[in-house]
Chains A and B, each alone.
Chain A
């Protein structure tokens, strides 16, 4: 029966169309599902400027958010709240660069914006492994932090 459906033009188009409709629904779900809300932060506009600078300098070539990006530099999702780091540390690196990171000659305004962006990223959640736990199905969840349910 399944062989017969899949061997006809109509059957193939029907399966294709059904999958496509499911894809559209899932896409709509992804676009509207609940995510950590940072839009009420007072530095929101500045953070958006920081995101723009992040992209213009291609910081993602070396750094990551939530493990996504290049691996030459460290993950910076929680650099603002990390032990021994924080805003002063970030400002120093952005101002002078490091042995492996060039000095991008950023203005003070650029640095303020990037710091605001990193502060916003920090408020979205934790990215390091020890902040996660695995359930019995092998799925991972943030420790002590209820994930969005929708």
Chain B
């Protein structure tokens, strides 16, 4: 597919990441001064602005990876489809953020915008699916697809299905029953997260294959087996969100049995990949390697948390607390963002040339600062969650305002470390965006060709 479009998509994603961390930092400040900021920066606007910006960072950058890594086929229709896909998603993203700023809502958690805008996102993914199909069909496979191609395929397919499912609430049968509506809502959200994880993990595996030069890694039976476990999780591992909801026992036991093994799967793959790398190969893509290593550490940390949270008796105490937020942040920043940044670093180096020494310095500082700050942030959120559970369990009638007051020290911790994450991420984004936007590299971009996947 088109590399220019790939970099355009990645640059857009990086801009949304900047927006996401700015809104996230403001959200952290709101936690400290809710009374003062109540009218100036309403949380009803800040939260969706932060969440949607981060979702668009993930979507644009993951799609950008697809445009860079899928087999290149010179076809005017493909370019039109790609541009159409980009424009639809970009229009949706900007309109959605504009709606939030103007206080225009109408949707539900994570998709709070008026539902009609969802059609743009869905159409964008349909075009991406068509483009993906044409790209694959262009070069018929003589052997089984590598796992990353299955991951991209699954990511696109399940995004479309789950996104459509998340709008079933518009149908009276679902809308009229709160519990059924919530069950379907969280079913779709679980699969949606799984779908963009597939897109990200697919690109991560592709990059790992290219760096290591081992073409068999993405075709080993163990890798396929782990992909299927991941797919199984995408399909069935969402029920842990709704253990306390009065739904069928079958749903709750299914969720319990299907534990969150997806992270373990990726950890295993990365672990194997890292151990297979020679020193020279590590050094040739040292930045991507470091981001993968950071992601690996976060996978292991979040894996422990995910397993604990998947036990209903423990989930009863973690659910509805900031421990859930810690898990979400650990996976979104620690895993998804680190994997995407590894992919962006690889793509920049491969297609745009080596980073200068000053850019490398910034990237490394950003990597360490963001990860160290994230660790403090993560611990502070867990602390807030545990404190909330202890306080609520000890006194179920404790007024919410008093409860929140007792948690302020933890909020200070996560607000301050949030600044650290934001600073670190900006140190990373700056040189990456500068590389992409630097037109001097344009000729190099045209000359360099990536081997088809």
Contact = CB atoms under 8 A, between A and B. Distances in A.
Interface string A59-96: 11110111111111111000000011000000000000
B23 interface: no
Given A58-B112, A71-B325, A140-B244, A7 B221 contact: yes
Contact of B248 (A27, A55, A139, A148): A148
Contact of B250 (A7, A8, A33): A33
B178 interface: yes
Given A55-B106, A58-B44, A66-B245, A139 B256 contact: yes
B225 to A, nearest CB: 6
Contact of B319 (A34, A56, A67, A74): A67
B313 A134 contact: yes
A61 B112 contact: yes
B400 interface: yes
B254 interface: yes
B242 to A, nearest CB: 7
A6 B224 contact: yes
B312 interface: yes
Interface residues of B, number: 79
A12 B224 contact: yes
Contacts, number: 199
Contact of A140 (B183, B225, B228, B313): B313
Given A7-B224, A34-B248, A58-B44, A65 B322 contact: no
A60 to B, nearest CB: 5
Contacts of B311: 138
A53 to B, nearest CB: 10
Interface string A135-150: 0011110100101111
A69 B244 contact: no
Which one of A20, A60, A147 has the highest number of Cβ atoms from chain B below 10 Å of its Cβ? A60
A63 to B, nearest CB: 10
Interface string A111-147: 0000000001100110111101010011110100101
Contacts of A22: 235
A107 interface: no
A20 to B, nearest CB: 8
Contact of A70 (B47, B165, B174, B179): B47
A135 to B, nearest CB: 8
A61 B52 CA distance: 12
Contacts of B251: 29-30, 33
B241 A134 contact: no
Contacts of A26: 235-236, 254
Interface in B218-268: 219, 221, 224-225, 228, 231-232, 235-236, 241-254, 256
Given A129-B392, A140-B313, A33 B247 contact: yes
A27 B150 CA distance: 22
A45 B58 CA distance: 39
Interface residues of A, number: 75
Interface stretch (B34-42, B89-97, B432-440): B34-42
B187 A55 contact: no
Nearest to B115: A55
B48 A19 contact: no
Which one of B165, B241, B396 has the highest number of Cβ atoms from chain A below 10 Å of its Cβ? B396
Nearest to A132: B316
Contacts of B145: 9, 12
A34 to B, nearest CB: 6
Contacts of A137: 256
Interface of B: 30-31, 34-35, 38-39, 42-45, 47-48, 105-109, 112, 141, 143-145, 150, 165, 174-180, 182-184, 186-187, 219, 221, 224-225, 228, 231-232, 235-236, 241-254, 256, 311-317, 319-322, 325, 392-393, 396-397, 400-401, 404
16 contacts: A7-B221, A12-B144, A15-B228, A39-B176, A67-B320, A68-B186, A70-B47, A71-B322, A124-B178, A124-B179, A127-B244, A129-B392, A138-B311, A140-B244, A140-B315, A148-B246
Interface of A: 2-3, 6-9, 12, 15-16, 19-20, 22-23, 26-27, 29-31, 33-39, 44, 48, 51, 55-62, 64-75, 83-84, 98-102, 120-121, 124-125, 127-130, 132, 134, 137-140, 142, 145, 147-150
The 7 closest A-B pairs by CB, nearest first: A67-B320, A134-B313, A74-B400, A125-B246, A33-B248, A100-B34, A35-B179
